[in-house]
Structure 1
Amino acid sequence: MHSNTQTHTSSYSINCNGRLVDLTSPKIMGILNLTPDSFSDGGKFNNEKLALLHAEKLLKEGAEIIDIGPQSTRPNAEFLSSEEEIRRIGTLISQIKKEFPEALISLDTFYAETVKFGFNEGMDIINDISGGQYDGAMFDTAAETKLPYILMHVNPSYETMHDKIQFEDITLEINRYFSEKTRQLLEKGVKDIILDPGFGFGKTVEHQVKMINETEYLGFGRWPLLIGISRKSFIYKPLGKTALDINEETQKLHMKVLDQGARILRVHDVLEAQKTLLEFNAKKNKS
């Protein structure tokens, strides 16, 4: 598929606490899980000192955004309250901000209360996997903080999050959802929206292959697109591999979505994604 490059030259900038961040050149978001039950890094970083060291490693390797996840959303993960999330985060956000003032911090939560806490600690971006569907106060809170909001496509409830629903056309379905939710967010006064099509959440392998092939049509080119395919089962299961040995395949797919205008790659392995990004930028500067 030859993508129409014109649609991808629009400049995207987001306002993070008064700091304008230009997404014209794509950024890497490094994942920092604080969960003892997280599927791929097994809770290695769930104590503050280790988490801070890992944040430093992610930044050194080329991540510009650190995505802090206090709760695992993999299938059959333990469901946590907002209080428990806040307890897990502790002073990590303010510590990272103090040590690495240039780092942008996104907080992966579907609770408005956790967002309020994170905002007071200095976070920059809200990463809500629920599209405001699991906490009715989320969109209002996003508007109050004035932080950029990552809107992900997902099933309507926590319980059905991983149910595979039969969609006639997944691209159409995701765009219908984006169109409705961005309208709601804009009405509330949320100015900066980033779209995430929600790989790994209630979608079949076929759905996700189609989403990769049709990335350029997701979100109408109006908002920056975040793609999170790192260690997702739609890549490793058909190959009979594990989450940790699909780097080569993942980087090929990263290149494919970058070619189609993706602005943020959410990844576990920053070093490898950084190589792909450098290759992509070199290719782009040549053309």
Structure 2
Amino acid sequence: MGILNLTPDSFSDGGKFNDEKTALEHTEKLLKEGAEIIDIGPQSTRPHAEFLTSKEEILRIGKLISQIKKEFPEALISLDTFYSETVKFGFDEGIDLINDISGGQFDHNMFDIVSATGLPYILMHINPSYERMHDKTKFDDITLEVNRYFSEKTRELLQKGVRDIILDPGFGFGKTVEDQMKLIGEVEYLEFGRFPLLIGISRKSFIYKPLGKTPLDINEETQKLHMKVLKQGAKILRVHDVAEAKKTVEIFLQEK
């Protein structure tokens, strides 16, 4: 999954792809490097980012989804939003997946809209509100806590008829460095393999800050962690650097 941020304020590539021309060019680059899914993000969710309404997200996306579908019909498009109205818009434009960082907690209509669309849904572990999503929480057992959350949320989704669920442990959201490293080593235990697992650790601060590096200087460390989660059954890597992640996936497949 290649990341396409349409934002002026994302932490590592803000402002680079927030017009249609540069967004389409970057989509082409991501696909050529080996991405199969393009994850479109109209709103930054880094700490202290600008908060957008659904209407502002939709205006920012414009006709980009349908343009990508037209120019790159082979691409699967994931829409990164926590608003049901943005999902409705994206569905009409032709998206293939819903990537909701909020687990349906920021918009009480989200699970109903997911059910209505019939699209695959990426369920992420996060604190219960937008205002608290980056508050660091020290859990007694992070894996147990994430599993408890996934168990409750997947039950709710299944009751609403949503069957195609992908789990995202929520790296970079309200977790200590220690808990995130522990989670990396225990992702094989998340929901006991009942659902496919997406891992999004690309350019995250829990990797680069302890090393005294920048988000752009941790490729080697990131690929080692990617290999670790692939060996535990992760199915999707959400990344900025598609070419490097593709190499890691190829090595993993050769070693299987």
Task: State the TM bucket, normalised to the shorter chain.
Answer: over 0.9
1:71 partnered with 2:43: yes
Question: What residue in structure 2 maps to residue 16 of structure 1?
Answer: none
Question: What residue in structure 2 maps to residue 55 of structure 1?
Answer: 27
Question: What residue in structure 2 maps to residue 19 of structure 1?
Answer: none
SS at match of 1:194: strand
Could you tell me how far 1:160 is from its partner in structure 2? 0.3
Higher RCO (C-alpha 8 Å, min separation 6): 1
What is the rounded CA distance, in whole Å, between the counterparts of 2:97 and 2:176 in structure 1? 29
SS at match of 1:238: helix
Question: What residue in structure 2 maps to residue 166 of structure 1?
Answer: 138
Could you tell me how far 1:99 is from its partner in structure 2? 0.8
Question: What residue in structure 1 maps to residue 213 of structure 2?
Answer: 241
What is the rounded CA distance, in whole Å, between the counterparts of 2:191 and 2:103 in structure 1? 14
Spell out, residue by residue over 1:29-67, the C-alpha distance to the aligned partner (whole angstroms, 9 max, x if none). Answer: 000000001110122000011101100100000000000
Contact 1:219 1:225 in 2 (8 A): no
Q: Could you tell me which of 139, 145, 158 is aligned with 2:111?
A: 139
Question: What residue in structure 2 maps to residue 274 of structure 1?
Answer: 246
Could you tell me how far 1:176 is from its partner in structure 2? 0.1
What is the rounded CA distance, in whole Å, between the counterparts of 2:138 and 2:219 in structure 1? 29
SS at match of 2:128: coil
RMSD (Å) for aligned C-alpha atoms: 0.5
1:182 partnered with 2:131: no
**Structure 2 residue identity aligned to 1:99:** E
Runs (4+) off by over 4 Å: none
1:260 partnered with 2:195: no
Match runs of 1:37-48 below 5 Å: 37-48=9-20
**Structure 2 residue identity aligned to 1:132:** G
Instruction: Give the gaps of 5 or more residues in structure 2.
Output: none
Question: What residue in structure 2 maps to residue 89 of structure 1?
Answer: 61
Question: What residue in structure 2 maps to residue 219 of structure 1?
Answer: 191
SS at match of 2:40: strand
SS at match of 1:237: helix
1:206 partnered with 2:178: yes
SS at match of 1:198: coil
What is the rounded CA distance, in whole Å, between the counterparts of 2:22 and 2:245 in structure 1? 22
1:112 partnered with 2:84: yes
Contact 1:106 1:127 in 2 (8 A): yes
- Give me the identity figure in percent: 81
**Structure 2 residue identity aligned to 1:69:** G
Question: What residue in structure 2 maps to residue 30 of structure 1?
Answer: 2
Could you tell me how far 1:165 is from its partner in structure 2? 1.4
Instruction: Give the gaps of 5 or more residues in structure 1.
Output: 1-28
Question: What residue in structure 2 maps to residue 195 of structure 1?
Answer: 167
Contact 2:138 2:179 in 1 (8 A): no
**Structure 1 residue identity aligned to 2:104:** G
**Structure 2 residue identity aligned to 1:55:** T
TM-score by length of 2: 0.99
SS at match of 2:227: helix
SS at match of 1:76: coil
SS at match of 2:39: strand
**Structure 2 residue identity aligned to 1:151:** L
TM-score by length of 1: 0.89
What is the rounded CA distance, in whole Å, between the counterparts of 1:101 and 1:47 in structure 2? 20
Question: What residue in structure 2 maps to residue 13 of structure 1?
Answer: none
